[in-house]
């Protein structure tokens, strides 16, 4: 198949948000939390990706961005027009735009952790990058999540105990110790907004202040 010589992205223009029409059969759902996160990213970086529409103004890709624009009361946004697409092409791309971004993708967690830590060191609000507090806590944790691991049936007493793991150390935890540590984690997250630095805070005894 010959690659098209012109693309929708060749030309970007502005359209009134009020004139854009959501695709009634869009199967991709968006939570209010996601819309809020996209709105926060627009406030930080501005508009970086035009919404894809057809000639009639029906949205093909960018429904969540349009919802975020409405939340921010933005009147006009950048769009690009998929001119000459068949009805089947438009409907299929509504699905493909979301699914292709998910297929086969992942993270190099070591590099991701380094990048996030550098951003934190520069006082950048990393809540804007899209991970929730629990995910950031797992990515940036000095140890592993509280509540450790539980092994299956037939394991030794030590292996069936709740364990807190640091490097090669496995520390058995009683139920009240788990509750106490989880309470401290919750307190830390309430104060700082994420779990990064919790162990340092605990070691330095700042939770006793």
pLDDT tens sequence across 73-89: 999 999 999 999 999 99
SS3 13: strand
Residue 50 pLDDT exceeds 90: yes
Interval 90-114 mean pLDDT: 88
Token readout for 66 is: 């349009």
Q: CA 187 from chain center: how many Å?
A: 23
Determine the Cα–Cα distance for residues 173 and 75; give it in Å rounded to an integer. 56
Interval 92-110 mean pLDDT: 87
Of the candidate ranges 36-40, 72-76, 127-131, the one whose mean pLDDT is the lowest: 127-131
Interval 35-57 mean pLDDT: 96
pLDDT of residue 73: 97
Interval 38-62 mean pLDDT: 96
pLDDT of residue 2: 66
Q: If we measure between CA atoms, which residue out of 53, 54, 60 comes closest to residue 28?
A: 60
Interval 99-107 mean pLDDT: 83
Residue 39 pLDDT exceeds 60: yes
Task: Express each pLDDT in 170-190 by its tens digit.
Answer: 677 777 788 788 888 888 887
- The pLDDT confidence band at residue 150, using thresholds 50, 70 and 90, is very low
pLDDT of residue 144: 38
pLDDT of residue 30: 92
Average pLDDT of the chain, as a whole number: 83
In which region does residue 20 sit, left (phi positive, over 0), alpha (psi from -120 to 50) or beta (all else)? beta
Domain 8-102 in this protein, CATH class: alpha beta
Domain range annotation of the chain = 8-102, 109-208
Q: In this structure, are residues 184 and 197 in contact, taking their beta carbons and an 8 Å threshold?
A: no
112 vs 190 pLDDT, higher one: 112
pLDDT of residue 70: 97
pLDDT above 70 coverage of the chain, percent = 82
Interval 59-69 mean pLDDT: 96
What pTM did the predictor assign? 0.64
């Amino acid at each position: 198949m010959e690659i098209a010589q012109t693309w929708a992205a060749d030309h970007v223009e502005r359209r009134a948000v009020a004139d854009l029409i959501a695709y009634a059969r869009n199967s991709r759902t968006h939570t209010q939390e996601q819309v809020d996160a996209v709105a926060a990213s627009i406030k930080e970086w501005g508009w970086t990706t035009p919404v894809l529409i057809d000639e009639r103004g029906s949205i093909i890709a960018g429904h969540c961005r349009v919802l975020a624009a409405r939340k921010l009361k933005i009147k006009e946004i950048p769009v690009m027009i998929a001119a000459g697409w068949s009805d089947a092409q438009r409907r299929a791309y509504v699905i493909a735009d979301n699914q292709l971004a998910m297929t086969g993708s992942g993270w190099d967690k070591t590099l991701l952790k380094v990048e996030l830590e550098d951003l934190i060191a520069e006082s950048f609000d990393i809540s804007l990058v899209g991970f929730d507090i629990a995910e950031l806590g797992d990515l940036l944790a000095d140890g592993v999540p509280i509540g450790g691991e539980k092994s299956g049936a037939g394991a030794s007493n030590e292996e069936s105990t709740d364990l807190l793991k640091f490097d090669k150390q496995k520390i058995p935890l009683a139920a009240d110790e788990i509750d106490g540590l989880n309470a401290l984690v919750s307190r830390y997250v309430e104060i700082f907004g994420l779990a990064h630095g919790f162990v340092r805070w605990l070691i330095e005894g700042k939770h006793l202040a």
